Amino acid sequence: MNTVVRILRMAARYRFRLGLGVVCTVIAANFQLLIPQFLGAAVDHAQSLLAGTGASPAEAQAALQWAAVMLLTAGVLRGLFTMIHNYQGEAIGQSIGYELRLAYFEKLQRMSFAYHDRVHSGDLMTRGMLDVEGIRRFVDGAMLRTIVLVILVGYGGYHLIGIDPVLGALALSFVPVVAWRAAVSSITLRRTWRALQERMSILTRIMEENLGGIRVVRAFAARAFEMAKFDTASDSAIVLAMRRIQIRYTNAAFMTFSYYAAMGLVLWVGSHKIIEGAITVGTLAEFLAFMAILQQPVRQVGMIVNSTARAFVSGGRVFELLDMDPAVQDKPGAAPLRLTDGVIRFEHVDFAYGEGEGASPALHDVNFEVGPGKSLGIVGPPGSGKSTIAHLIPRFYDPTLGRITIDGQDIRDVTLDSLREAVGVVQQDTFLFTATVDSNVAYGDLSADRERIVNATDSAQLHEYIDSLPTGYDTLVGERGLTLSGGQRQRLSIARSILLTPAIIVFDDSTASIDAATEQRIHAALKELTRARATIIISHRLSSFMHADEILFIDQGRIVERGSHEELLALGGRYKELYDLQADFGDDLGLAASAAAPEGA
Amino acid sequence: MAMMPQSLAVPGKPPGGRPGGPDGGLNDEMDERIFGAAFDGRIVQRFLKFLTPYRARLAVAFCAVVAFTLTQLSIPLVIREAIDQALVTDTQDGALLDLIALAFLGVIVLNLIAMYIQETIVGKTAERILFDVRRTMYVHLQRLSMSFMDKTEVGRLMARLQSDVGALQEFLDTTVTAIGDILLLAGIVTVLILLNWQLGLLTLSVVLVLLIVRMIWLPLAKKAFMRARQTSSIVNGALAENINGVRTVQEMIRERVNFERFEIKAADNLRSHLRAAKFSQVMIPIVDTLTGAAMAIVVVVGGNMVIGGSLDVGVMVAFIFYVQRFFDPIRSLTIQYSVMQRAMASGQRIFEVIDVPVDIVDKPGALALDQIDGAIELRGVTFGYLPGQPVLNDINFRVAPGETVALVGPTGSGKTSITALIHRFYDVWEGSILVGGHDVRDVTQHSLGKQVGMVLQDPFLFTGTIFENIKYCSAEATRDDVVAAAKAVDAHGFITRLPKGYDTMLEQRGGNLSLGQRQLLSFARAIVADTKVLLLDEATASIDSHTERQIQLALKSLLAGRTALVIAHRLATVRGADRIIVLNQGRIVETGSHRELMAKRGLYHRLYAMNYASFDDIPEEIIRQAAADTSAT
Ligand SMILES: Nc1ncnc2c1ncn2[C@@H]1O[C@H](COP(=O)(O)OP(=O)(O)OP(=O)(O)O)[C@@H](O)[C@H]1O
Ligand SMILES: Nc1ncnc2c1ncn2[C@@H]1O[C@H](COP(=O)(O)OP(=O)(O)OP(=O)(O)O)[C@@H](O)[C@H]1O
Ligand SMILES: [Mg+2]
Ligand SMILES: [Mg+2]
C-alpha cells in the first residue's frame, strides 16, 4: 500500500479531530477570504467619496467604520479557527507519532535474534527517532496545510472568477505551474531523501561504532583513521543534502516567480480595465489583496512537497519493520510449557544461520539429553557451535531440522514466555544496562527483594565487592564497564540469571574472565541450586565441568567425542589433548624451556 | 558551565532505587538535569561562530537578501503607481500602464534572481553548518578522556549527535525562507513611515501590544517547550536502551514490563507536546487580532485621511499590502515557535558536549616517540577511578625490552587497569609510568598509541569485512600481512571456510561470528599493527587450549624483539612467560618465574592448583585459603 495513503488512513481514524480540523480550516479560510472583500469595499468607499460620487461623507464614514469592525472581527475569528485547526493538526500528528512509536517499540522487542543480527542498532534508532518524527511532521505540517491551500485557492478562485472571469483566470494562472513543479520535484526529492537517509544511516553506524568501540580506537591511535572514515561518509551525505536544497529552493524560487507573474498580469490587465471602467479600484484592490493572502501558502508549497517526500521515505522505513513477522513467535494456540522433571532433549538438530544462499551451517545432527540433577559439559574450538546450542534452547533461533523437547514437549509448541521462564542462559557476551547494580540484578524479576538479590550476588561471589562500594547496590554500572572489571561484569550477569531460578540453566563460557578460585566458589555456591536442575556448562576450562555426567566435544557443528571425563581421557582423542595442555605438564611442552629464552610467550 | 559535563555523564552517586530501573528512568533525569540551567541567548551567538568559514558566501547572500527585500518592498509601490495612474489617466490610453507592467516584470525577475541566490546559498550553508556542528562534536568526543567516556551511554550521545542536530535541521528547513522576511520587517517599517508617518506609527503601534503579550507568554511557554523536549529525549533514551539490550530483554522476558514503561513515557511525551502545542497556537489568534486591528486602523484613519484629501488611495492600498506582508512573517514565526524552541534546546545539548573539558592533553612540546626499546616501567603507581578509592597501590615493576611478563590475579585485582594506564587512557594519581624510558605524560598520545598495541578484554569489531577489521588503521599493511596475522592466531582456517573468506562482511560488532572467533580477529588486528609493546588482556580467554597453544607457538617468532605484557586467568597460558607478577587487590604480592612461584607455594600456587583440579579434590584448606585471598575483590 502506498505509504502516504497509509499515513492518511491512520489520520482518518481521528475522525472527530480531523473533522473539527477540516471544518475550522474551511471557516478560517473563509474569514481570510472575507478580508480582501472588506478591504476592497473600504477602498471603494474612500474612492467614491473622493470622486464625489455616491454617498455622503457621513455615510462613507459609517461604511468605513463598518468595514473596520468587520476586518477586526474577521481577523479575530480567523485567528481562533486557525488556532483550532492548527491544534487539531498537531494533535493528530502527535497522536500518530505516539501510536507509531509504541507499535515500533513493541515490534522491535519481539523481532527475533536473526533480525537483530542483521539490522544495525543505529539503523533501528534512526527509524525510531528521525523517521517517526518525519511522519509526524508530515501529518501536522503538510497534510492540513494542503487542505488550507486547496480551499483558499479553490474557493477564492471561484469567488474571483465570479467577479471577473478574465482577471480571475489570470490571478489563478500560477496554480498549474506550481502544481506541475510540485509534482516533478516531489519525485526527485523523494529519490534524494531516500538516498540521503541511507547515507545518514551509514554515518550513524560509523559514529555509533566509534563511540561503542572507543577503547579500540584509542588503543590503536586510530583517531585520524576514524576521522577520515567519518569525513568520507559525511561528505557523501553532504553531496545529497546539497542536492536536496538545490531542488527545493530552485522550485521555491520558480513557484514564487510564477505567482508574482500572475500578480503582474492581474495588475496590468486590471489597471487597463479600470481605465475602461470595467471594474472599480476596489475590485482590483480585492484581487491583489487576495493574491497577497496566497503568497505565504505558495511559499509553503515547497515545504509541503519536501515533507511529503520525506514522509514517503520515512514511512517506508518504519512500516517495513511494522509489517514484518518475527521469525520466532508463539504458534497459534500454543499452550504454556508443563514442567514435570525438566528434561531437555536435542533430537537430530541441524541449524544454519541465515537462509537460502547465505546460510552458514552451524550445527549438524546434535543429540543429547540432560535430566534434572544432571549436567552436561560442552567444549570445542572457537566457532564450533557451542553458543548456538545455547541459543536454540530458549528459541532465540529455531532449528532447521530435528527438534528440541523439554519434558517431551516440542519447544516450538509451547509459549515463548513459559519456555524462557524455564530456561536461563548466562550469555557469553555480557550486556549490562546503565543502571544501578540492584536494578541490573533484578532485571528479570522486578519484585525481587533485597534479600533475594543479595543471595544471588552472593552465590555469584559478587556481594562482598558490591557491599564494599560506598553506594553499595545503588552504584551505577554501565555498558562500557563503568565500575566493574571484566570478571565482575560476568558475575553480575550470572547473578541476574540465577535470581530467576530457572529449571534448566546454561552457562555459556560465563566464567572465562573469572579466576579459577572464584569460579570454584561460584560452583560450590550453586550446588544447592543445581541439585535438582538440568545444567549445561560450556567452557574452555576443563575444570569447570570435569565432573559433568556427560561431556560433548564439538567441532564444526558436529559432536566428535562424547562421554564422561574418564571415558574421554581413556579415548585419548582431542579432549585428552586439551586436558594435557591444561594440566600441570607444562614442563614437557617445551614452553617452560622458553621461559629462559627472552622471546618466549 | 562547570556542571555541564556532569549532566552529560552519569555521576558517581545517583539517587538510588529501582523504580527508575534500567529502562531509562533514572538516567533520563540525569541526562536531562541540564534543563534546570538557564536558557541563554549565547547559544545563538555561539552558532554564529560556525558561520565564519562561510563569510564570503554569506556576503553574497546578504547582498541578495538586500536586493530581495528591496524588490519585495517595491512590488506594492509599483502596484500603488499602477492604481494611481489608472485613476489619474482616466481618459487617456494605457501606454503608461504597460510601462508600469514592464517595470513590474523587471522587479519580479530581479526578485526571482535574488531569492534564488539567497535561498540556495543560505540553505546550503545552513546544511553545511549542521554537518560542521556534528563534526565538531564528534572530533571533540574523540579527544575526551576515557574516564569521561566510561560514564556516557552510546545511545544518549548518539541522540545528541543525531536527534539534536536533526532538530536544528528542522528549524533551518522551516526558517531559511524566513530570513528574507526578517529584513523585510525592517524595510516595511521604513517604507510605512516614509509613505505617511502618522498612519505608519499608528499602524505599527499594535506591535507594541504584541511585544507586551509575548513578554507574559514567553516564560510560561518556555517551560512547556522545555518539558516537551525533555520528554522526547526520555523516550529516545528508553528506545535506545531497549534496542541495544534487546537480547537481554528477550532473555529475561521483560518485553511486557518494558512496553508498559515505555507507554507511560510516550504518553507523557504526547501530553507535554500537546501542552506545548496549545501554547504555541494560542499566539495565533492574538497575532491575527492584531493584524485585523492594524488593518482596521488603516481603513478608518487612512480612509478618513483619503476623504480629507491628505492621503492618496494608492497609498492606502499600499499600506494595506504592507500591513499584510508585515504580519505574515510574524505569524509564521509564531506558528514555528515550537520548532525554534526545540532547536534552542537542542543547541544547548550540543554545546554541552562541545564544552566538556578535555583532561588528558598532550603537553606543549610533547615528544613524538619514534624508535624505542620497548621497556615498560611503573614507578610507585597509585590509581583509582573514584576519588578516595584507589584500585592500584604503589605498583612498581619493570619489563625489560623484549621480555614477556605475565600479570595474574583474581578478578578485579587491577590487571586491566594497569594496561589502561600504560596506554594513558587515564592519568595516574601518584608515581609515573615510563614506556621506552619516557614518561607517558611527556609524549604525544598518538605516538604512544603507535608503539603500544593492545588486545582488549572485550573484543570489539567494526561493521565491515574481515580483511578491513584485521587491517584496521595500519595503512601500510598488505593483504599478506593480514593473512599472516590471521594464520598466527589460527584464524586463517575458519576464515577461508567462509564462502567469501576475508571479504566476508561482519555485522555489527562482529555478531555473525562466535565470541572466540571475534577474539581471534581482534588479536590478529593487534599483530598487524606491529607495535614494539604488546598488551594482551585475556586475549585468549574465550579460546580453547589447543588453539591457544597454536597461537603461542606462532607468537614465539612474532614476539621476538617485542615487549609483551600478558594477562590471563587460565594459568597454563602464562606459565611460559619470563616472569609472572601476581596481583591481589591492587598490590603486587609475588613475582617470579612459574617454577619459582610454584616453589613458593603462595597465592600463585593456590590459584594454579585450582586451575586444573576438579571441584572436590581440592583440599578444603586450599579453597579456604583462596577464598580468603580473593575475597573482597
Ligand atoms: N571505569 C571504572 N570505573 C570505576 N571503577 C572501575 C572501573 N574499571 C574498573 N573499576 C574497578 O577497578 C578495579 C580493578 O578493575 P580491573 O578491570 O583492573 O580488574 P581486572 O584485574 O582486570 O579484573 P578482571 O580479571 O575481572 O578483568 C575493580 O574493582 C573494578 O571494579
Ligand atoms: N549470528 C550469526 N550469524 C551468522 N553466523 C553465525 C552467527 N553466530 C555464530 N555464527 C557462526 O556459527 C558458527 C558457530 O558459532 P558459535 O557462536 O555457536 O560458536 P561457539 O562454539 O560458541 O564458539 P566460541 O567458543 O568462540 O564461543 C561459527 O562459525 C560462527 O561464525
Ligand atoms: Mg560461544
Ligand atoms: Mg580485566
E strand or H helix at A423, and its extent? Answer: strand A423-426
The C-alpha cell 468607499 sits at A45
What is the reported pLDDT for A568?
A: 94
CA of A369 to the centre of ligand 2 (A): 22
What is the reported pLDDT for A344?
A: 95
Query: How far is residue B305's CA from residue A49's CA, in Å, rounded to a whole number?
Result: 11
Instruction: Identify which of B247, B466, B508, B513 to mutate to test ligand 2's pocket (most ligand atoms within 8 A of the CB).
Output: B513
Any alpha helices (H) in B16-54, and if so which ranges? 25-31, 42-49
What is the reported pLDDT for A81?
A: 92
Same domain membership, residue B225 and residue B183: yes
In a domain, B214, yes or no: yes
What is the reported pLDDT for B384?
A: 93
The C-alpha cell 557451542 sits at A386
Q: Is the pLDDT of residue B632 over 80?
A: no
In a domain, B385, yes or no: yes
The pLDDT tens digits of the residues spanning A422-473 come to 999 999 988 998 889 999 999 999 899 999 999 999 999 999 999 998 899 9
Q: Is the pLDDT of residue B34 over 50?
A: no
More reliable by pLDDT, A340 or B316: A340
Query: What is the number of H-type helices and E-type strands within chain A?
Result: 22, 12
Number of residues in chain B: 633
Contact B350, B160 (CB under 8 A): yes
Chain B CB contacts of A429 under 8 Å are: 515
What is the reported pLDDT for A590?
A: 37
Tell me if the pTM is above 0.90: no
In a domain, B5, yes or no: no
What is the reported pLDDT for A99?
A: 95
Q: Is the pLDDT of residue B521 over 50?
A: yes
Domain tally for chain B? 2
Q: Establish whether residue A482 lines the binding site of ligand 1, counting it when its CB lies within 6 angstroms of any ligand atom.
A: yes
Look at B150 and A261 and tell me if their CB atoms are within 8 Å.
Answer: no
Same domain membership, residue B322 and residue B219: yes
What average pLDDT is seen over chain A?
87
Same domain membership, residue B345 and residue B393: no
Q: Is the pLDDT of residue A597 over 60?
A: no
Q: Is the pLDDT of residue B501 over 70?
A: yes
Provide the grid cell at B147: 574516564
Q: CB under 8 Å to A566, separation ≥6 — which residues? A: none
Same domain membership, residue B277 and residue B242: yes
Query: How far is residue B132's CA from residue B200's CA, in Å, rounded to a whole number?
Result: 43
Same domain membership, residue B387 and residue B347: no
Which ligand gives the minimal distance to the CA of B583? 1
What is the reported pLDDT for B90?
A: 52
Give all domains of chain A, ordered by start, each with its CATH number: 2-322 (1.20.1560.10), 345-593 (3.40.50.300)
What is the reported pLDDT for B626?
A: 54
Contact A397, A112 (CB under 8 A): yes
Q: Which of A45, A208, A387 sits opposite B154 (nearest CB)?
A: A208
Mean pLDDT confidence for A26-39? 81
Chain A CB contacts of B385 under 8 Å are: 483
Contact B457, A486 (CB under 8 A): yes
Residue B364 backbone phi and psi in degrees, to 5: -60, 135
Query: How far is residue B75's CA from residue A257's CA, in Å, rounded to a whole number?
Result: 13
In a domain, B359, yes or no: no
Which CATH number fits the domain that encloses residue B458?
A: 3.40.50.300
Residue A154 backbone phi and psi in degrees, to 5: -65, -55
Which ligand gives the minimal distance to the CA of B513? 2
For the beta sheet containing A504-508, the strands, ordered from the edge strand earlier in sequence to the opposite edge, are A423-426, A504-508, A534-538, A375-379, A550-555, A558-563
Query: How far is residue B303's CA from residue A69's CA, in Å, rounded to a whole number?
Result: 13
Same domain membership, residue B289 and residue B397: no
In a domain, B12, yes or no: no
More reliable by pLDDT, A588 or A378: A378
Q: CB under 8 Å to A198, separation ≥6 — which residues? A: none
SS3 state at A360: strand
Q: Band of the pLDDT at B565, cuts 50, 70, 90?
A: very high
Which atom of ligand 1 is least distant from the CA of A478?
1
Q: Band of the pLDDT at B531, cuts 50, 70, 90?
A: very high
In a domain, B91, yes or no: yes
Mutate to test the interface with B, among A245, A248, A561 (most CBs of B within 10 A): A245
What is the reported pLDDT for B203?
A: 85
Mean pLDDT confidence for A51-65? 71
Look at B296 and A68 and tell me if their CB atoms are within 8 Å.
Answer: yes
CA of A131 to the centre of ligand 1 (A): 39
Task: Flag whether residue B515 sits within 8 Å of chain A, measured between CB atoms.
Answer: yes
Same domain membership, residue B274 and residue B401: no
What is the reported pLDDT for A338?
A: 93
Same domain membership, residue B276 and residue B424: no
What is the reported pLDDT for B464?
A: 93
Q: Is the pLDDT of residue B29 over 60?
A: no
Structural domain for B509, as ranges: 376-632
CA of A434 to the centre of ligand 4 (A): 19
In a domain, B516, yes or no: yes
Same domain membership, residue B461 and residue B389: yes
Q: Band of the pLDDT at A587, cuts 50, 70, 90?
A: very low
Chain B CB contacts of A109 under 8 Å are: 242, 246, 249-250, 255, 258-259
Mean pLDDT confidence for B182-190? 83
Same domain membership, residue B306 and residue B392: no
What is the reported pLDDT for B415?
A: 94
Rg (CA), chain A: 36
What is the reported pLDDT for B616?
A: 41
Query: How far is residue B107's CA from residue A521's CA, in Å, rounded to a whole number?
Result: 88
Mean pLDDT confidence for A47-56? 64
What is the reported pLDDT for A601?
A: 31
- DSSP letter at A93 equals H
Q: Is the pLDDT of residue B6 over 50?
A: no
Q: Which of A38, A120, A515 sits opposite B463 (nearest CB)?
A: A120
What is the reported pLDDT for A481?
A: 62
What is the reported pLDDT for B377?
A: 95
Mean pLDDT confidence for A128-134? 88
Same domain membership, residue B217 and residue B179: yes
Residue B372 backbone phi and psi in degrees, to 5: -125, 165
More reliable by pLDDT, B374 or A148: B374
Query: Among B276, B235, B278, B164, which Cα is nearest to A98's?
Result: B235
How many CB atoms lie under 10 A from the CB of residue B110? 15
Plot region of B458 (φ>0 → left; ψ -120 to 50 → alpha; else → beta): beta
Q: Is the pLDDT of residue B13 over 50?
A: no
Q: Establish whether residue B413 lines the binding site of ligand 1, counting it when its CB lies within 6 angstroms of any ligand atom.
A: yes
Q: Band of the pLDDT at B625, cuts 50, 70, 90?
A: low
User: Cα separations (Å) of B363 from A217, A579, B334, B420?
Assistant: 21, 51, 50, 19
Which CATH number fits the domain that encloses residue B88?
A: 1.20.1560.10
Provide the grid cell at B488: 598466527
Provide the grid cell at A513: 574472565
What average pLDDT is seen over chain B?
83
- Choose from A309-313, B6-10, B42-46 the range with maximum mean pLDDT: A309-313
Instruction: Identify which of A353, A508, A553 to mutate to test ligand 2's pocket (most ligand atoms within 8 A of the CB).
Output: A353
| A–B CB contacts, 8 A cutoff, strictly below | 661
Contact A383, B517 (CB under 8 A): yes
Look at B248 and A431 and tell me if their CB atoms are within 8 Å.
Answer: yes
What is the reported pLDDT for B386?
A: 87
Instruction: Identify which of A384, A391, A396, A428 to mutate to test ligand 2's pocket (most ligand atoms within 8 A of the CB).
Output: A384
Same domain membership, residue B568 and residue B432: yes
Q: Establish whether residue B35 lines the binding site of ligand 1, counting it when its CB lies within 6 angstroms of any ligand atom.
A: no
The ipTM estimated for the assembled molecules is 0.89
What is the reported pLDDT for B524?
A: 95
What is the reported pLDDT for A355?
A: 78
Query: How far is residue A360's CA from residue B514's CA, in Å, rounded to a whole number?
Result: 12
CA of A489 to the centre of ligand 4 (A): 10
The pLDDT tens digits of the residues spanning A179-189 come to 899 889 989 99
Q: Which of residues 562-601 of B touch A (CB under 8 A)?
A: 564, 566, 569-572, 575-578, 593-595
Q: CB under 8 Å to B343, separation ≥6 — which residues? A: B167, B168, B170, B171
In a domain, B25, yes or no: no
Q: What percent of chain B has pLDDT over 70?
A: 87
